[in-house]
Each structure stands twice: as structure tokens, then as C-alpha cells.
Amino acid sequence: MLKIVYPVCCGIDVHKKFIVATIASTNDCGITSYKTKRFSTFTKSLREFADWLRIYSCFHVCMESTGKYWIPVYNILENNFAVTLAHPKYVRAIRGKKTDKKDSVWIADLHKHGLVLASFIPPRSIRQLRDLLRYRYKLVCMKSSEKNRFHNSLTVSNIMLDNVVSDSFGKSASAIIKHLLDNPLDTDFDPVPLLHRSMLKKQDDIRLSIDGVVSDEQAEKISICLQHHDHIESCIARIDAYVENISSIFSKEIGLISSVPGIRTFSATVIISEIGVDMSVFHSAKHLCSWAGLTPQNNESAGKKKSVRVSRAGVYLKPLLVQCANAAIKDKNCSRFRNRYESIKRRRGHKRAIIAIARMLLTVIYHIIAKSVPFDSSIYEQPSSNHSPQSVTFSVEQAIKFLTDSGFSVLPRSVVTAA
């Protein structure tokens, strides 16, 4: 018989418009009684739900993380109840005869035995910072999409300017595009007065690249893309200014993370918004790396090792750490990351190697936040070369194979003696 961890607990089946809650009360004889009630997701009704829980002295609540619908419920219960937010895969009910009431009862039964693994929910200040920075990431993606649409319109119009210049949104390219949009009939203008002096050496190629016609339809599309692009940039600038203001309370942790090779202030702020500043919520650095999706799977059956792909977790944190890892292996002040990358790359390839470096960075971040000390590159320095190398013993067969692989011909001893 399973142990009862929470004699009185509540399981919640969350939906957009309503929630179904079941309080499971277990007496001293191990008999559980259930009380189920349905509430709206309006704030007034959620407060009534909290009062209903207090009436039955139920302060342990478990619910499934359904989209964003769990957040209003969590906001009401956060300060006065012990809320366990569960991933759907840990509380999925058996198929067949599945109803909202049975789902809430199932969640309550799992929680009363302590079988539900709680998801990591950072404090409110971290959640707000995370929400802003994730929205900024979406805006950056939208900005890249507008750039692609802009380049597509130029290609359709036979304007191959992006084949010549490195940045189609640079000063010289923008001036040329503006002239093409303002004067669509002027197909034989001299672009030299519009060029920056560093672009004068490419003036012949630029003349060839703008030999096209921008139709009215494409001109309208390009104008809209540019206008939207500028608006997105202004939105990103507003978010950056606001994030800089509200992240000042984490300036100490941001400074510590910024001391790690390959990580700058903005990247450190994003990392803080994802993992928080309290490392005690993670059992170890390995637990944090697994939560971030940087740990290979342990999938073995009948002595055969199957897929070791990393999980899909950390969709916002993992790409950032990979970018930081690419910068860390180029840092000349700390060669440890570069050496480790080259060692793994020779055996497993670039992708696995860079994921390993990202995991190293996250492990370092875990320890410097937990111990509140900056990064110390001397820990990762290679040992001194004054130590004598360890002697290696080869068997005769191993020595012959080594010489053969090195291009030498090994003759039998009788042949050598006769000669």
C-alpha cells in the first residue's frame, strides 16, 4: 500500500473558462473521501475557490500546466497555498471514460501519494522578467522575417544588391533603396553619390546589381516591410530600456555570470530570467543541465544503447547557451573550453561538441551563483609540463600494429639475423 504523503490535498483540472477541483481527504483508517466542485476562471470565482479550500483546511494543491490557463489560478493561490504544477506527461490519465471530474480525482490521488514531480516555477519578479525577454525574442524573430520579405521583394524585382553589400539595411544600401522607391522610373541613375567611401571600390558591381525594375506592387510591399521593421526595432529598444531598469535588482548575479567567457550582460540577464537566482531549487548542476535540455538521454535496453539525443526542453535557454558556447571557444583568455571542444569534435562532431560546451557553461553558472563567486580561469588551466610523462607499456602485438599503422615495415627476427 502506498504511503499517504498529503492526507488533505486538492487536484485541479484546468480549462480556459472553468476549473474542476477535487479535495481528497484521507482519515486515519486510510479511507479517502472526495469533494468536487466547479469554479469559473474569473478572479472573483477563483477567490471563492481559495476560500473553499480553507474551509476544508486544504493547503496542498496540484494542477496540470495547461498552456497559460494555469497562471490565473496560480496567481491567486501562490502566497497562501503549496501549489504543485505538474507537466502533463506526469499526470496523464488512462484513456477511456475520461471526464473533467475523473481527471481532477486522478490528479488528487497522485498528489496525495507524492507521485507528482513538481515543475520549476520561479518567483514573480523572475517570471515577469522572463515574459518580457521571451517577447523580445519573438520580436527579433519577426524582425528577421521582415528582412527576409524585404530581400524577396528585391529578388523578384531583379535588384541583386544583397549579393554585393554585406548589409542590405546599411547606410549605402538604404539610400539606394530609398532612391529606387522614390523614383521608380529613374532606372539609370548614378549610385556613387549615395555610397559611403568604404563602398566606392564596389561601385561597378553595385551599378550592375540595381539594374532592375521595382513594380508598384513590390514598392508598396517594400515600404510596408521597412516601416514594420523600424517599428519592431523601436519596440525592442523600449523592452531593452525597461528590462535594464527592472533587472537592476539582480545586478550582482548578472555581474557574476558575465565573468564567464562568452557571456555578456544581456546574455546573463536572459539566463537569470530562465533559471532564476536560487540554485537550491535544483538538486545539482546535473539536474539543472537536464532541466535545460543539455543532457543526453539515457536510453538503453537489453545491453543496446539507443538514441542519446538531447531533449526538447529549454527552447529559449538552450539556443542562447549554444551561442555563448560558440563565443567561449574563441576566447583567448581561457583555452579550456576551446581544448575541450576540439577534443570532443574530433570524436563526435561539431554539434555534439558545442552542446557539451554549453553544458559546461551552465554547470559553471550553477556553481558561481550557488557560491556567489566570480569565474576563475586559473581552475581550468592545464597542468604544468614539469611533471614527467607516465610510462606506457605496449605488448609486442600492439607495438607491431603501431609501427605498421605508422608506415613502417616489420620483418621477422630470423630475416634480420640472416641479413
Q: What is the pLDDT of residue 398?
A: 79
The model's pLDDT over 102-156, given as tens digits with 9 standing for 90+, comes to: 999 999 999 999 999 889 999 999 999 999 999 999 999 999 999 999 999 999 9
> By percentage, how much of the chain surpasses pLDDT 90?
61
Check residues 407 and 376 and name the one with the higher pLDDT: 376
pLDDT at position 21 over 80 = yes
| 14-25: average pLDDT | 95
In angstroms, the CA 253 to CA 272 distance is: 8
In angstroms, the CA 318 to CA 362 distance is: 10
Domain ranges of the chain: 8-112, 125-247, 251-298+309-380
Reduced 3-state DSSP string for the chain: CCCCCCCEEEEEEECCCEEEEEEEEECCCCCEEEEEEEEECCHHHHHHHHHHHHHCCCCEEEEECCCCCHHHHHHHHCCCCEEEEECHHHCCCCCCCCCHHHHHHHHHHHHHCCCCCECCCCCHHHHHHHHHHHHHHHHHHHHHHHHHHHHHHHHHCCCCHHHCCCCCCCHHHHHHHHHHHHCCCCCCCCCHHHCCHHHHHHHHHHHHHCCCCCCHHHHHHHHHHHHHHHHHHHHHHHHHHHHHHHHHHHHHHHHHHHCCCCCCHHHHHHHHHHHCCCHHHCCCHHHHHHHCCCCECCCEECCEECCCCECCCCCCHHHHHHHHHHHHCCCCCCCHHHHHHHHHHHHHCHHHHHHHHHHHHHHHHHHHHHHCCCCCHHHHCCCCCCCCCCCCCCCHHHHHHHHHHCCCCCCCHHHHHHC
Closest CA to 312 of 292, 326, 298: 292
CA dihedral 133→256→312→343, nearest 10 degrees, is 140
The model's pLDDT over 262-296, given as tens digits with 9 standing for 90+, comes to: 999 999 999 999 999 999 999 999 999 999 999 98
Domains 8-112 and 125-247 share a fold: no
Largest CA distance in the chain: 104
Q: What is the pLDDT of residue 419?
A: 57
In angstroms, the CA 409 to CA 411 distance is: 6
Q: Which amino acid is it at 57?
A: S
Question: Helices 216-246 and 124-156 meet at what angle, rounded to 10?
Answer: 160
Question: Is the Cβ–Cβ distance between 328 and 375 less than 8 Å?
Answer: no
Q: What is the pLDDT of residue 385?
A: 45
Closest CA to 321 of 358, 367, 274, 277: 358
Output the CATH code of domain 125-247.
Answer: 1.10.287.4070
- Look up residue 150 and give its three cell numbers: 524585404
Range picked from 86-95, 209-218, 246-255 for highest mean pLDDT: 246-255
Using the structure block, give the residue that is written with the C-alpha cell 527592472. 246
Q: What is the pLDDT of residue 384?
A: 44
pLDDT at position 391 over 70 = no
Chain mean pLDDT for the chain: 89
| 11-34: average pLDDT | 93
Check residues 35 and 408 and name the one with the higher pLDDT: 35
pLDDT at position 52 over 50 = yes
Check residues 117 and 410 and name the one with the higher pLDDT: 117
Going by pLDDT thresholds of 50, 70 and 90, the confidence category of residue 382 is: low
Fold of 8-112: Nucleotidyltransferase; domain 5 (3.30.420)
The model's pLDDT over 61-87, given as tens digits with 9 standing for 90+, comes to: 999 988 899 999 999 999 999 999 998
Burial of 129 (0-12, 13-18, 19+ CB in 10 A): buried
pTM of the shown model: 0.83
Going by pLDDT thresholds of 50, 70 and 90, the confidence category of residue 249 is: very high
In angstroms, the CA 367 to CA 285 distance is: 8
Burial of 287 (0-12, 13-18, 19+ CB in 10 A): middle
Question: Is the Cβ–Cβ distance between 91 and 114 less than 8 Å?
Answer: no
| 3-16: average pLDDT | 93
Going by pLDDT thresholds of 50, 70 and 90, the confidence category of residue 418 is: low
The model's pLDDT over 289-346, given as tens digits with 9 standing for 90+, comes to: 999 999 988 888 888 888 888 888 899 999 999 999 999 999 988 889 999 999 999 9
